[in-house]
Amino acid sequence: MLDPRIYRTGFVVVALALVVLAFSLQNQPGPASTTLAPEAFNGSSAYATMQRMAADAPQRRPGSIGDDALATEVASDFRQDFRHENITVSTDTFNGRTVDGTRTLEDVTAVLPGMTSGSVVVIAHRDSLQSPSVADLSGTATLVELARDLQGETLNRTVVLASTTGSAGAAGAIRLASTVSGPIDAVIVLGDLAGSRVRRPVIVPWSDGQAVAPPMLRNTVAAGLGAQTGLGAGQTSFAGQFVHLAFPLTVSEQGPFGARGIPAVLLSLSGERGPSADDPVHGPAMITATGRAVLQTVTALDSGSVVAPPSSYLILDGKVVPGWAIALFVFALIVPVLLATVDGTARALRRGSALWRWIVWVLACALPFAVGVLVVLAARRLGAIAAAPPGPVRAGAVPLHGAGIAVLALAAVAIIASFVALRPLAIRLVAGRPAARRLGRFPDAGAAAAVLLVMCLVTIAIWFVNPFAAALLVPALHLWLWVVTPDVALSAPLVIVLLLTGVAPVVLVVVYYAVTLGFGPLDAAWSAVLLLAGGDIGLLAALEWSVVLGCVVSVGLIALRSARQERPQPAAVTVRGPATYAGPGSLGGTKSALRR
């Protein structure tokens, strides 16, 4: 079935795409600069405000009495600071999905109008799932102090100061992103600005979509941070950047803005995970330095050029690798397998293989995983999953109790039962009972063509939506091509190595997020359920990856059953025929040959 010449020809396209990728690297743009000194920021006042708020509202889960009281306090501070008639302070009350279920939440905003269109939005959440979480309030205290520093200033761009809640799941940020009027040039989310533990990267650019905050915005915040604190922003590894683009997931509040095409970054000394409830805080010196870095950033963005929208790119050795070049290279890597698959499919059809029946067999292997997805969605609809925030949350934010354990167990049982009962039934109904008995028992060229064809099609479908996610499937395409081809004899240990190597990229993505966000194995499974139930993972994406898992199972079954079949051994030559005859006259020189 496999023609190595066609497979090798496809790598000509890969070589051309690699050349384009090499010439696509760009220099990073420099940061926006400002001539205004940020010494106006009063860190001692911000530190006192942080301690006062922690004492006034030690318990402030989203939508709780403490959270609402703190919202009133922030609004009062804004109104005391802003005495000009053109400055607006408002409170937006809405129903939002939180880790405690649907709650009535409040976003407090203060709008300082500028002379031109566009705005710079500064956000800090005030809620916390644990107590006392003093460091979590450093962003809110800095926000209040910024209001005092910016009043009376002549601004080119409108500055919006927003105190949000529902930070676990970003309910308040999602609401704010949909209600802020006018174009938004940049968003700065303030996290832990006073903690004693620095966890890099301090500047987090990730979003809930396939876009990253532009380098100019990241470098502007990094320049202010370095100038005022001496701290480096830190850099996520190349592999980590790839993971964030392949499976966009962030637990901080810049995520919803980036997903909507708005440049947004998080500034937090404790990184994306945020501080623990009992993490100690520095004295006024640290919040003074970080607060001045924020003020310098705001003034630089206010007077600087227009910030580019978020985009897909990677940073490699200080250079920017654009997303379009990576997408082109990933598609080029699919081409060799696609060409070999098309040729193999044509060969299988010429040999009379019932290709469509094998395709049904492969898709039937994906059916149990689709059933598991439907079980989770049904559990959410029926209320078995009471709390499903609209965005990703940290480990333990939504505890796994009895109902959650039951949903996980039910989904697992549904997947296993569907594989045992529903999958064979679907094959019999579509392919017919006689064919169903043969399918999977004796895999042939049609089985290999079918599984490779489905894998190529689903990989291309994923590529159209997210080329970085499709790149995770490229190793499996190339390696499993040799596993399923019936005329390629591989040893059992080599087959196992190829199978495991093919699934390794996706497994490493799960491990990366588990380590980065502190998930254990059960937490990771529960987080996936919450992402699906909350809508962060769409139904179409879930079904696509169900097909991918079905292909994994199909390849494993083909490899297993091919190994059980006895391969025909070549018969020993016992009779010398013309092909092996080397007697007189075979090379000429006899009298009869000379007469001719």
Q: Give the per-residue pLDDT at 431.
A: 66
* Encoded amino acid at 576, one letter: R
Q: How far apart are alpha carbons 66 and 336 in whole angstroms?
A: 60
**Would the pLDDT of 74 be above 80?**
yes
pLDDT grade for 547, boundaries at 50, 70 and 90: very high
Q: Across residues 38-61, what is the average pLDDT?
A: 91
Least reliable range by pLDDT among 207-211, 230-234, 539-543, 558-562: 558-562
CA-nearest of 269, 272, 254 to 209 is: 254
Q: How far apart are alpha carbons 171 and 125 in whole angstroms?
A: 11
Q: Across residues 76-81, what is the average pLDDT?
A: 83
Write the DSSP string, 170-205: THHHHHHHHH--S---EEEEE--SSBS---S-SEE-
3-state SS of the chain: helix, strand, coil percent to 5? 55, 10, 35
Structure tokens at 438: 């043969």
Q: How far apart are alpha carbons 251 and 271 in whole angstroms?
A: 11
Q: How far apart are alpha carbons 435 and 437 in whole angstroms?
A: 5
Give the burial class of 585: count Cβ atoms within 10 A of its Cβ; 0-12 exposed, 13-18 middle, 19 or more buried: exposed
Helix (H) or strand (E) holding 91: strand 88-98
pLDDT grade for 342, boundaries at 50, 70 and 90: very high
Q: Percent of the chain having pLDDT more than 70?
A: 90
Q: Give the per-residue pLDDT at 196.
A: 83
CA neighbours closer than 13 Å in the CB half-sphere of residue 596: 6
Q: Mapping DSSP to helix (H, G, I), strand (E, B) and coil, where does residue 52 land?
A: helix
Q: Could you read off the pLDDT of 191-232 as tens digits, one per residue?
A: 999 988 888 899 999 998 888 999 999 999 999 999 999 888
Q: Give the per-residue pLDDT at 459.
A: 96
Q: Give the per-residue pLDDT at 565.
A: 55
**Would the pLDDT of 435 be above 60?**
no
Q: Could you read off the pLDDT of 385-432 as tens digits, one per residue?
A: 888 898 888 888 888 888 889 999 999 999 999 999 988 888 888 766
Query: CB count, 10 Å around CB of 230?
Result: 8
Q: How far apart are alpha carbons 60 and 128 in whole angstroms?
A: 6
| The model's pTM | 0.89
Helix (H) or strand (E) holding 96: strand 88-98
Q: Give the per-residue pLDDT at 355.
A: 81
CA-nearest of 159, 177, 192 to 96 is: 177
Q: Could you read off the pLDDT of 92-139 as tens digits, one per residue?
A: 999 999 999 899 999 999 999 988 888 999 999 999 998 888 999 999
C-beta of residue 69 within 8 angstroms of C-beta of residue 56: yes
* Encoded amino acid at 271, one letter: G
C-beta of residue 75 within 8 angstroms of C-beta of residue 91: yes
Q: Mapping DSSP to helix (H, G, I), strand (E, B) and coil, where does residue 164 land?
A: strand
pLDDT grade for 305, boundaries at 50, 70 and 90: confident
Residue position matching structure tokens 């588990």: 514
Write the DSSP string, 412-469: HHHHHHIIIIIHHHHHHHHH-HHHHHHTTTS--HHHHHHHHHHHHHHHHHHHHH-HHH
Mean per-residue pLDDT over the chain, rounded: 87
Q: Cα separations (Å) of 165 from 97, 177, 473?
A: 11, 13, 38
